[in-house]
Amino acid sequence: MPATERLLLPRGIYTPLPTFFSPDDEDVDLDAFAQHVRFVARAGTIPVVAGSAGEAPHLSRAERTQLISTARSALDACGLGHVPLVAGVGASSTRETISLACDAADAGADFAMVIPPGYYAGQLQKEGGRALGQFFLDVAVASPIPIVLYNFPAVSGGIDLDSDLVVRVVRASDNVVGVKLT
């Protein structure tokens, strides 16, 4: 993608959205979720769907996609279709993370946020994080939407993205547009 076409991560406040569940059957409450998406977008913040290791790993692939689609539809329906949407796509494997990024793009997300697969923390951090850098690069190459690296050591097996790794990945791929530090 030529640099002039590159979708840049906009400045602003990003709001991680909770996932609402029905108290009766524990299904995702899409109506409550859509209402909350509209609320945060009208307040001028950028919604982040299933972004972390909070509810995201407890949702099925279909539920994650349904949340993204619901968020995009909620924004479009209230005249806020221009508001960017960030979707968490982290998973325990490169292949699943790429699949989730493709699903997110198809469902209307503008950016994919990728947390490291903490289950493999020890292996990913060997040799100066070579495998971890390759994980991010493989996802960036295959993702149809730009990715945001997500550093959250407390929920990713202690993986802490250092500046050298972040710089290496960003320099190697035009499809990496930001880093979230938690």
Tokens (6 digits) for 142: 């295959």
Is 180 an active-site residue?
yes
Q: Taking the mean position of all CA atoms in its chain, how far away is CA 120?
A: 19
Q: What end-to-end distance do the CA atoms of the chain give, in Å?
A: 30
Check 38, 64, 72, 180 and give the catalytic one: 180
- Closest to 112 measured CA to CA, from 83, 78, 84: 84
Adjacent-strand bridge partners of 48: 16, 86
Cα 182 to Cα 179: distance, rounded to the nearest angstrom: 10
Side by side, the strands of the sheet bearing 14-16 are: 14-16, 46-49, 86-88, 111-114, 147-151, 176-181
Maximum pairwise Cα distance, the chain:
50
- Would you name the residues annotated as active-site residues? 180
